[in-house]
């Protein structure tokens, strides 16, 4: 996998064997920066666990934390491409709020009252989601057009978007909180019902394992096809064991989270299982929003690294003039990044509103800041051209873990913000230091 | 004097090209031509219009008026894609490389190889880049690192590889040796001769009068947006070309007084 989009590209087939950790990194071609983020996340989790005497690292906490991080993580995958191509989108939080309100009004009022689509109407949730995605794409296209074709700086356009779209939310609902989503739509928010259950979780894990092995195999096959130097076999095996191990560990962990007693009893009735005296333990497995996030991360990574669109986004970020002179339609490329951001805002809004079973005036408030922070902590550079999608997702999880962990040990929300801000600066400073020392290539 | 060679039209003709920035004529009624396997040196002081003229050929800048003919046929070049479709490749002085992506990605930028489903075929692109590089710079090994980490000569090789891989017929080289050390300069000179022998027509923009005399068949001198004269290399001396660059006059129009002043200020060059 030669991945030009990586912030810290692994030394390629020409890399010579080096001793120690660096040699290990070179042979396996693991993105060192990404690996460092995983390590940092693990350390944060362990530290909180030690402080809380082992009460932190429990499936129920981890699942809650993951679902909380999802909305921001979904947006961060798109923000990476926006920042990589030297723009910024400050309007995402407001757009999430607007679309969340559209979902709420659509399913609680417009559909049943105006369109005659009662709660028994088939696929209401699909229709609602399609409307939301269309609204997001439209807002993204309008902002993207003004930025790419008229030439107004993205900071200005999306700052305007931040203010006016948030204001528009009020007009949508006249300031009211709207509740009552479609019951299937609510599953997007996770929780006991919105989880895929134990069997499916193992199946997802199996699919993940198969994907890891397939990717490694096809990568090796591709190299052999052109006679490039192959990774040593031990490195391939190590990667496979590591990849599959992490996936199966996550699946096992998610299955350690059980349905709440009420739902478990319901489950028992449906399946004619007698409820044992201590209560039935039914694995909840992966929450649906996490499945959605995984799918989005895979698709976005594919777009960024395997498609022309992604290549153009990174090339433009690296050198706008070069991209233009290479004959790339740079304006259309920029427009597309904003349309994509709008679509992701719709998906993020779906998770956020599903969790609330409705929408308030300030769904998605300040999301733009968390999303930008996640992307930057995940290694995205404001200089353009550098950043990865898995990095941004990890960044979102690092930030969410910090705030969840801090609240767990009793730090209030202003205190969480203080820490989040400091971590943001620290992460970027560390990066800047590393890049200078590594001469930009490590 | 355009179609003096043989039966066919020249490989390229640019006729009466004009480009104005605001009220200033950066290129003013310039006509120039190029044959297969020929190197035409384009010289002139800063702001003489060399680069602007070449930008109209590479599609980076649109000419306000004038015609471009390839193989005798009038062509319209309004953007870089048009030029590339006519096998006109430009190696810019800045190299126009995206520093954050690797050499194959740069070579194929805008013209990526893809699978049937439209996925990028990085393996095939790296393979093709290795093949071109084997010709241009056999010592080049860093195919999977961002070009940011490459030396000046290696970056130049990437920029040239782009032109060579896509079978350029007309190549524009804007100051190809300006940022290079002596060894790398020699390498680029060899390469230009090799490309010329393969029948590629080359416009060579250079400040280095040695480069120009060494490599060119003909030399066109520009001064304040106009062509002073286009001369065969054998017919002039380096001093005469320098005189044209600095004074903007043909050698026979220059007074002996002006010439003496020139020689006083500038040591004679071979």
**pLDDT of the residue at A88:** 97
CA dist A29 and A229 (Å) reads: 12
For the record, the structure tokens of B51 come out as 């680069």
For the record, the structure tokens of B83 come out as 């030029």
B118 contacts on A by Cβ (under 8 Å): 307-308
pLDDT digits (tens, 9 = 90+) for B130-145: 999 988 888 888 898 9
More confident residue, A196 or A3: A196
**pLDDT of the residue at B250:** 79
CA dist A130 and A312 (Å) reads: 28
* Residue B208, helix vs strand vs coil: coil
Closest among A298, A338, A334, A342 to A131, alpha carbons compared: A342
CA dist B241 and B253 (Å) reads: 13
**pLDDT of the residue at B257:** 73
Closest among B261, B254, B268, B192 to B223, alpha carbons compared: B254
Query: Which of B79, B86, B96, B98 should we substitute to test contact with A (largest number of A Cβ atoms within 10 Å)?
Result: B98
- Chain A contacts in chain B segment 235-254 (CB below 8 A): none
Q: Do residue B109 and residue A322 have CB atoms under 8 angstroms apart?
A: yes
**pLDDT of the residue at A17:** 47
Least confident residue range of A7-21, A121-135, B146-160, B233-247: A7-21
- Integer angstrom CA distances of residue A243 from A70, A205, A255, A397, B143: 21, 11, 19, 18, 26
Average of per-residue pLDDT across B94-104: 92
Closest among B35, B28, B11 to B228, alpha carbons compared: B28
- For residue B49, count other CB atoms closer than 10 A to its CB: 23
Query: Which of B93, B109, B142 should we substitute to test contact with A (largest number of A Cβ atoms within 10 Å)?
Result: B109
CA dist B36 and A440 (Å) reads: 42
Average of per-residue pLDDT across A246-263: 88
**pLDDT of the residue at A18:** 52
Distance of CA A45 to the CA centre of its chain: 19
**pLDDT of the residue at B265:** 52
State the nearest Cα–Cα gap between B27 and chain A, in angstroms. 20
Q: Is A115 on the interface with B (CB under 8 A)?
A: no
More confident residue, A266 or A426: A426
Query: Which of B62, B100, B111 should we substitute to test contact with A (largest number of A Cβ atoms within 10 Å)?
Result: B100
**pLDDT of the residue at B264:** 55
pLDDT confidence of B263, banded at 50, 70, 90?
low
- Integer angstrom CA distances of residue B29 from A103, B15, B26, B77, B224: 63, 8, 10, 17, 11
Q: Do residue A326 and residue B110 have CB atoms under 8 angstroms apart?
A: yes
- Integer angstrom CA distances of residue A54 from A50, A57, A58, A257: 6, 6, 8, 16
Q: Do residue B123 and residue A317 have CB atoms under 8 angstroms apart?
A: no
pLDDT averaged over chain A?
A: 88
pLDDT averaged over chain B?
A: 87
Model pTM? 0.89
Q: Is A308 on the interface with B (CB under 8 A)?
A: yes
Dihedral angle over CA of A353, A344, A135, A360, nearest 10: 20
Half-sphere CA count of A150, side-chain side, radius 13 A = 12
**pLDDT of the residue at A20:** 64
**pLDDT of the residue at A137:** 98
**Spatial contact of B77 and B59, defined as CB atoms under 8 Å apart:** yes
**pLDDT of the residue at A117:** 79
Whether residue A26 has pLDDT greater than 50: yes
* Secondary element (H or E) of residue A11: none
User: Could you tell me whether strands B24-34 and A178-179 are parallel, antiparallel, or unpaired per DSSP bridges?
Assistant: unpaired
Q: Is A229 on the interface with B (CB under 8 A)?
A: no
B90 contacts on A by Cβ (under 8 Å): 325
Average of per-residue pLDDT across A303-315: 96
* Residue B215, helix vs strand vs coil: helix
Closest among A430, A363, A364, A365 to A395, alpha carbons compared: A430
A385 contacts on B by Cβ (under 8 Å): 98-101
Query: Which of A298, A322, A384, A386 should we substitute to test contact with B (largest number of B Cβ atoms within 10 Å)?
Result: A322
The residue behind tokens 């805008």 is B110
A2 contacts on B by Cβ (under 8 Å): 102, 104, 122-123, 126, 144
**pLDDT of the residue at A332:** 97
Q: Do residue B84 and residue A4 have CB atoms under 8 angstroms apart?
A: no
State the nearest Cα–Cα gap between A301 and chain B, in angstroms. 12
The residues facing B30 across adjacent strands are B17
Q: Is A4 on the interface with B (CB under 8 A)?
A: yes
Closest among B60, B61, B104, B72 to B7, alpha carbons compared: B72
CA dist A340 and A206 (Å) reads: 30
Which DSSP string do the residues of A160-200 spell out, in sequence order? HHHHHHHHHHHHHHTT--EE---TTGGGGG-TTTTB-HHHH
Q: Is A321 on the interface with B (CB under 8 A)?
A: yes
The residue behind tokens 């666990």 is A49
pLDDT confidence of A13, banded at 50, 70, 90?
very low
A4 contacts on B by Cβ (under 8 Å): 100-102, 105, 122, 146
Partner residue facing B98 (CB), from A225, A315, A440: A315
pLDDT digits (tens, 9 = 90+) for A257-303: 888 888 888 888 888 887 777 777 888 889 999 999 999 999 999 99
Q: Do residue A441 and residue B145 have CB atoms under 8 angstroms apart?
A: yes
pLDDT digits (tens, 9 = 90+) for A31-53: 778 888 888 899 999 999 999 99
Q: Do residue B111 and residue A327 have CB atoms under 8 angstroms apart?
A: yes
Query: Which of A1, A86, A311, A387 should we substitute to test contact with B (largest number of B Cβ atoms within 10 Å)?
Result: A311
- Integer angstrom CA distances of residue A275 from A191, A199, A256, A262, B26: 21, 19, 19, 11, 88
Whether residue A314 has pLDDT greater than 70: yes
State the nearest Cα–Cα gap between A326 and chain B, in angstroms. 6
- Percent of chain B surpassing pLDDT 70: 93
pLDDT digits (tens, 9 = 90+) for A374-398: 999 999 998 899 999 999 999 999 9
- Integer angstrom CA distances of residue A325 from A304, B16, B68, B131: 21, 24, 19, 24
**pLDDT of the residue at B209:** 85
**Spatial contact of A179 and A104, defined as CB atoms under 8 Å apart:** yes
Least confident residue range of A79-83, A261-265, B191-195: A261-265
**pLDDT of the residue at A22:** 66
Average of per-residue pLDDT across A204-213: 95
pLDDT digits (tens, 9 = 90+) for B213-222: 889 999 999 9
For the record, the structure tokens of A312 come out as 């153009």
CA dist B25 and B27 (Å) reads: 5
Least confident residue range of A327-341, A359-373, B169-183: B169-183
Q: Is A307 on the interface with B (CB under 8 A)?
A: yes
The residues facing A133 across adjacent strands are none
Whether residue A209 has pLDDT greater than 70: yes
CB–CB contacts below 8 A, A to B: 123
CA dist B49 and B28 (Å) reads: 9
CA dist A343 and A327 (Å) reads: 27
């Amino acid at each position: 996998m030669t991945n030009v989009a990586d912030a810290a590209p692994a030394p390629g087939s020409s890399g010579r064997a080096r001793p120690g950790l660096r040699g290990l990194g070179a042979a396996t071609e693991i993105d060192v920066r990404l690996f460092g983020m995983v390590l940092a996340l693990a350390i944060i989790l362990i530290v909180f666990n030690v402080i809380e005497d082992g009460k932190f690292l429990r499936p129920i906490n981890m699942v809650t934390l993951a679902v909380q991080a999802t909305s921001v993580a979904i947006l961060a995958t798109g923000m990476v491409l926006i920042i990589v191509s030297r723009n910024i989108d400050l309007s995402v939080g407001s757009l999430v709020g607007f679309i969340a309100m559209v979902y709420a009004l659509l399913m609680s009022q417009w559909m049943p009252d105006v369109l005659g689509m009662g709660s028994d109407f088939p696929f209401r949730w699909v229709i609602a989601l399609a409307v939301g995605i269309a609204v997001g794409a439209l807002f993204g296209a309008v902002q993207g057009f003004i930025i790419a074709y008229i030439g107004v700086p993205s900071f200005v356009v999306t700052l305007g978007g931040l203010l006016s779209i948030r204001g528009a939310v009020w007009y949508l609902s006249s300031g009211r909180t709207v509740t009552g989503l479609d019951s299937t739509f609510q599953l997007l928010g996770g929780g006991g019902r919105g989880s895929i259950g134990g069997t499916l979780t193992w199946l997802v894990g199996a699919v993940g394992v198969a994907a890891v092995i397939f990717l490694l195999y096809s990568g090796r096959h591709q190299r052999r096809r052109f006679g490039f130097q192959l990774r040593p076999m031990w490195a391939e095996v190590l990667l496979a064991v590591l990849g599959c191990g992490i996936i199966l560990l996550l699946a096992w962990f998610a299955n350690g989270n059980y349905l709440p007693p009420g739902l478990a009893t319901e489950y028992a009735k449906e399946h004619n299982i007698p409820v044992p005296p201590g209560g039935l333990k039914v694995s909840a497995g992966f929450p649906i929003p996490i499945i959605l996030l995984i799918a989005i991360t895979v698709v976005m990574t594919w777009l960024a690294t395997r498609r022309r669109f992604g290549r153009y986004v990174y090339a433009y970020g690296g050198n706008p003039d070069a991209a233009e002179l290479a004959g790339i339609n740079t304006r259309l490329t920029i427009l597309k990044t904003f349309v994509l951001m709008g679509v992701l805002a719709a998906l993020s809004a779906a998770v956020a509103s599903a969790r609330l079973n409705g929408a308030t005036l300030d769904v998605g408030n300040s999301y733009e800041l968390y999303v930008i922070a996640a992307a930057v902590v995940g290694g995205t550079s404001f200089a353009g051209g550098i950043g990865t999608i898995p990095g941004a997702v990890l960044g979102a999880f690092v930030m969410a873990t910090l705030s969840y962990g801090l609240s767990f040990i009793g730090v209030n929300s202003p205190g969480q913000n203080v820490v989040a801000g400091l971590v943001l600066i620290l992460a970027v400073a560390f990066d800047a230091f590393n890049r200078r020392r590594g001469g930009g290539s490590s | 004097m355009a179609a003096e060679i043989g039966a066919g039209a020249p490989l390229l003709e640019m006729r009466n090209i004009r480009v104005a920035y605001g009220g200033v004529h950066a290129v003013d009624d310039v006509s120039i031509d190029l044959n297969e396997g020929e190197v035409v040196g384009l010289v002139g002081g800063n702001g003489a219009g060399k680069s602007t003229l070449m930008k109209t050929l590479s599609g980076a800048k649109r000419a306000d008026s004038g015609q471009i003919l390839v193989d005798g046929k009038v062509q319209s070049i309004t953007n870089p894609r048009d030029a590339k479709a006519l096998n006109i490749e430009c190696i810019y002085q800045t190299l126009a490389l995206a520093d954050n992506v690797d050499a194959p990605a740069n070579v194929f930028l805008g013209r990526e190889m893809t699978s049937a489903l439209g996925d990028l075929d990085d393996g095939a692109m790296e393979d093709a880049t290795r093949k071109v590089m084997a010709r241009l710079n056999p010592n080049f090994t860093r195919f999977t690192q961002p070009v940011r980490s490459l030396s000046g000569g290696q970056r130049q090789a990437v920029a040239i590889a782009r032109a060579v891989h896509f079978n350029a017929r007309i190549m524009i080289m804007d100051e190809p040796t300006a940022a290079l050390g002596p060894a790398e300069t020699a390498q680029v000179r060899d390469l230009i001769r090799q490309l010329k022998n393969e029948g590629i027509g080359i416009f060579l923009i250079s400040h280095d009068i040695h480069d120009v005399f060494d490599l060119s068949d003909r030399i066109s001198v520009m001064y304040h947006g106009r062509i002073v004269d286009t001369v065969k290399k054998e017919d002039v001396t380096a001093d005469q070309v320098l005189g044209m660059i600095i004074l903007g006059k043909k050698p026979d129009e220059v007074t002996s007084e002006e010439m003496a002043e020139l020689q006083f200020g500038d040591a004679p060059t071979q």
